[in-house]
Amino acid sequence: MEKTLVLGIGNSVLCDDGVGIRVATEVGKRISDPSVTIAEACQGGLFLLEAFLGYDHVVLIDAIQTKGGTPGQVYDLQPENFISALHLSSPHQVDFTTALELGKALGFPMPSSIDIVAVEAGDVTTFREKFTPEVEKAIPVAVEMALRKCPTHINHIRED
Amino acid sequence: MTKIMINPITRLEGHGKIAIFLDDDGEVSNAYLQIPELRGFEKFCEGRPAEDMPQIMQRICGVCPEAHHLAATKALDNLFKVEPTSTAKKLRELLYSAFFVTDHATHFYILAGPDFIMGPESPPAERNILGVIGKVGVEIGKKVIQTRQQNHWVIQTIGGRGIHPVFGLPGGVSKMLSEENRAKTEEIAAQGVEFARFSLKIFEDLVLKNKEYLDMVLSDTYTHRTYYMGLVDENNKVNFYDGKVRVVDPNGKEFTKYSPAEYLDNLSERVEPWTYLKFPYLKKVGWKGFIDGETSGIYRATPLSRLNASDGMATPLAQEEYEKMYAALGGKPVHHTLATHWARLIELLFAAERMLELSRDPEITGPNIRNIPTETPVEGIGIVEAPRGTLTHHYITDEKGLIKKCNLIVGTTNNYAAMSLTIKKAAQGIIHKGTEITEGLLNRIELAWRAYDPCMGCATHTLPGELPIEISVYDADGTLIDAVKRF
């Protein structure tokens, strides 16, 4: 049986930064399938690589800030969209692309598909548990997109 | 599907901004490191039950939840005036040692290693973990990931969750350790000891035997004479989980040793108009600006600082390495910032050895894991050593235990003034009249900064997961003349 990981990343007490976790939680309410795991993480880099191991499909949900982006915009992305980020090691962690490259280089069984749902964040520097209105509105859109990313064999999706 | 390329900027203010100012002769007169502000934390905590703090505090920052969880838990012990049971203390320290193994191993191989293993001047595309495993072998990469996974298993097993542990309670912990899990933990700890020894050997072969690197470590560009801080046990040996905070002066002499309750008698915080973050300094020495030496209250709290501030390591193999390092670098204290990498590996060995000791302790699987608090709360302070420095949590509550005020001094904050000094000195050593600002220069400045393993509560996860850095150079008139952005 192929296994799927739906992973929300973020900080649930830092305003829009927590949107990935919230979307993953909502996705979890709509799926009841033993082959799907809903999880959360607070770090990227190697943590992601380790979280991915053992899964065939990964749907990653996270906040993002892009040049000229509009808060609440939902993006449908692939890891190669971040290829430009493959360079230095950072003072903190390796970046997403480097972590995936490392997994391949080490011969780990990497997922056959990695999809990313990213939500343009408005505020990621204020400690609060509520999202900005634009991001709050984007949650159902991101949930639907994440559900569409789940492999087609998962037929336990409940309609709201 | 149409392929789009995104250009993430990660956070509007979520990156380290380094501003370098030149004088009329084109030499560096000043350098500032600006750190992004995270707003409203105190307000966020006000009115919440103090018991929620171990859960909330560890969400401040995704990099070391375990440190915040335990500092908060210890603050609750203090707040509710309850002494944890012996087994509970040991379980907390066992989890914490496993956390140190993962954190220090990651820093060396992923973050610091590329500079030394590939060389500070190597092309950026090679100067990363991929280059490292290309050079030293895939097996080492697998070993790093395996060490992380095994120790994350220990954290999850004892702490109840893989990230954001839930086991710390005032007076103890929420779950005992089974014999089966104890035995597995012991096995992991033993492997951790071997891994740490192997890592020290790599450091010796690749750095200490390489004259160019050793010269860089010992160079004045990367050297500051400061005070040093670290937690010590009753024998003045390094301890990550508990003890008193000891500070030694630049000559290595004990300057102060205080218990958590006395931290405000010893530390003050300086506010500068150009940054949101405060600069802690030693109150009894005073703030003299961004200078090092005995007359300046700037101190450092890093792996090297902990070794400088102690009389040794509490485990035999780490003690041997401790003695070796000081013999090689000319005695205590060591002021070379880049020696922090060596100290970090000695701490990695200590953490693994301590894990092994605790996993073999007959009390570790005992059933007595909590003393129930009965006192009315007022005020509580908890201190642990985070990998990046001494971490202090301070809560004041009403009689119902609802938070009225909280104050934190986090690991990286201790080093903010020292990091600023380091950046300025590195810039002064590297930028001269007519120097072109290049990616390599950025790395030479960043290299000094990286030794502190700074954590800024930003870029911990947001895609693509790289902490962006911007270096701007201004001439004597304040005009921007050069800039490098890495995002």
A102 reaches B (C-beta below 8 A): yes
Q: What is the largest CA-CA distance in chain A?
A: 44
B464 reaches A (C-beta below 8 A): yes
Instruction: Tell me the shortest Cα–Cα distance from B165 to chain A, in angstroms.
Output: 13
Q: Mutation target for A interface from B111, B444, B460, B487: give the one with most A CBs within 10 A.
A: B460
Pairing of strands A4-9, A36-41: parallel
For every residue of A15-56, DSSP letters joined together read: GGGGHHHHHHHHHHHH---TTEEEEEES--THHHHHHHTT-S
Check CB contact under 8 Å for B37 and A125: yes
CA distance B413 to B455: 9
Looking at chain A, which residue has its C-alpha nearest residue B12? A65
> Quick one: average pLDDT of B437-457?
73
What are B306-336's pLDDT values in tens digits? 999 999 999 999 999 999 999 999 999 999 9
CA distance A143 to A140: 5
Check CB contact under 8 Å for B111 and A91: yes
Give the pLDDT score at B70: 97
Tell whether omega for the bond before B464 is within 30 degrees of 0, i.e. cis.
yes
What are B95-153's pLDDT values in tens digits? 999 999 999 998 888 878 888 888 777 776 777 788 888 888 899 999 999 999 999 99
Residue B289 φ/ψ region, left for φ over 0, alpha for ψ in the -120 to 50 degree band, beta for the rest: left
Does pLDDT of A9 surpass 90? no
Altogether, the residues listed in chain B come to a count of 487
Residues on chain A touching B337 (C-beta within 8 angstroms): none
Identify the band that residue B30 occupies on the pLDDT scale cut at 50, 70 and 90. confident
- Residue ranges of alpha helices (H) inside B160-240 are 179-203, 211-218
Give the pLDDT score at A144: 94
Q: Which residues pair with B469 in a beta bridge?
A: B16
CA distance B315 to B318: 6
Instruction: Tell me the shortest Cα–Cα distance from B9 to chain A, in angstroms.
Output: 5
- Which range, of A111-115, B1-5, B296-300, averages the lowest pLDDT? B1-5
Residue B208 vs residue B357, higher pLDDT: B357
Check CB contact under 8 Å for B465 and A128: no
The residue to which tokens 């995936």 are assigned:
A100
What are A67-94's pLDDT values in tens digits? 678 999 999 988 877 654 433 233 345 6
Give the pLDDT score at A84: 45
Identify the band that residue B18 occupies on the pLDDT scale cut at 50, 70 and 90. confident
Give the pLDDT score at B8: 34
SS (H, E, C) B95-114: HHHHHHHHHHHHHHHHHHHH
Give the pLDDT score at B182: 98
Picking from B453, B175, B439, B227, the residue whose alpha carbon sits closest to that of residue B338 is B453
Residue B120 vs residue A137, higher pLDDT: A137
Name the amino acid, one letter, at B14: G
Identify the band that residue A110 occupies on the pLDDT scale cut at 50, 70 and 90. very high
User: Which DSSP state fits B337?
Assistant: G
Given CA atoms B255, B447, A94, B203 in this order, what sign does their dihedral have?
Answer: negative
Does pLDDT of B3 surpass 70? no
CA distance B331 to B325: 8
What are B404-434's pLDDT values in tens digits? 999 888 888 899 899 889 888 888 888 888 7
User: Which of A41, A108, A126 is nearest residue B163 as measured by Cβ atoms?
Assistant: A41
User: Which of A45, A105, A127 is nearest residue B40 as measured by Cβ atoms?
Assistant: A127
Instruction: Tell me the shortest Cα–Cα distance from A39 to chain B, in angstroms.
Output: 11
Terminal Cα distance for chain A, rounded: 27
Check CB contact under 8 Å for A77 and B63: no
Picking from B327, B65, B120, B335, the residue whose alpha carbon sits closest to that of residue B225 is B335
CA distance A47 to B456: 18
B310 reaches A (C-beta below 8 A): no
Check CB contact under 8 Å for B164 and A42: yes
Identify the band that residue B459 occupies on the pLDDT scale cut at 50, 70 and 90. very low
Q: What is the CA radius of gyration of chain B?
A: 22
Number of helices and strands in chain B (H, E): 16, 15
CA B34 from centre of chain: 18
Residues 6+ apart with CB under 8 A from B165: B58, B65, B66, B69, B95, B155, B158, B159
Identify the band that residue B15 occupies on the pLDDT scale cut at 50, 70 and 90. low
Q: Which residues pair with A104 in a beta bridge?
A: none
> Quick one: average pLDDT of B373-397?
95
Check CB contact under 8 Å for A88 and B455: no
Chain B neighbours among A 133-152 (CB < 8 Å)? none
Identify the band that residue B468 occupies on the pLDDT scale cut at 50, 70 and 90. low
- Which range, of B6-15, B55-64, B121-130, B414-423, averages the lowest pLDDT? B6-15
For every residue of B218-254, DSSP letters joined together read: HSGGGB---EEEEEE-TTSBB-SSSSEEEEE-TTS-E
Q: Mutation target for A interface from B117, B419, B466, B470: give the one with most A CBs within 10 A.
A: B466
Calculate the average pLDDT of chain B. 87
B2 reaches A (C-beta below 8 A): no
Is this prediction's pTM over 0.85?
A: yes
User: Which of B14, B59, B63 is nearest residue A124 as measured by Cβ atoms?
Assistant: B14
What are A23-70's pLDDT values in tens digits? 999 999 999 888 999 998 877 678 888 889 999 999 999 888 776 789
Give the pLDDT score at B456: 59
Chain A neighbours among B 58-117 (CB < 8 Å)? 59-60, 62-63, 65, 106, 110-111, 114
Residue A2 vs residue B9, higher pLDDT: A2
Looking at chain A, which residue has its C-alpha nearest residue B447? A91
Altogether, the residues listed in chain A come to a count of 160
Residue B5 φ/ψ region, left for φ over 0, alpha for ψ in the -120 to 50 degree band, beta for the rest: beta
Check CB contact under 8 Å for B130 and A124: no
CA distance B438 to B462: 26
* Count of C-beta atoms within a 10 Å radius of residue A77: 18
Identify the band that residue B27 occupies on the pLDDT scale cut at 50, 70 and 90. confident
> Quick one: average pLDDT of B298-304?
97
Residue B120 φ/ψ region, left for φ over 0, alpha for ψ in the -120 to 50 degree band, beta for the rest: alpha
> Quick one: average pLDDT of B161-185?
95
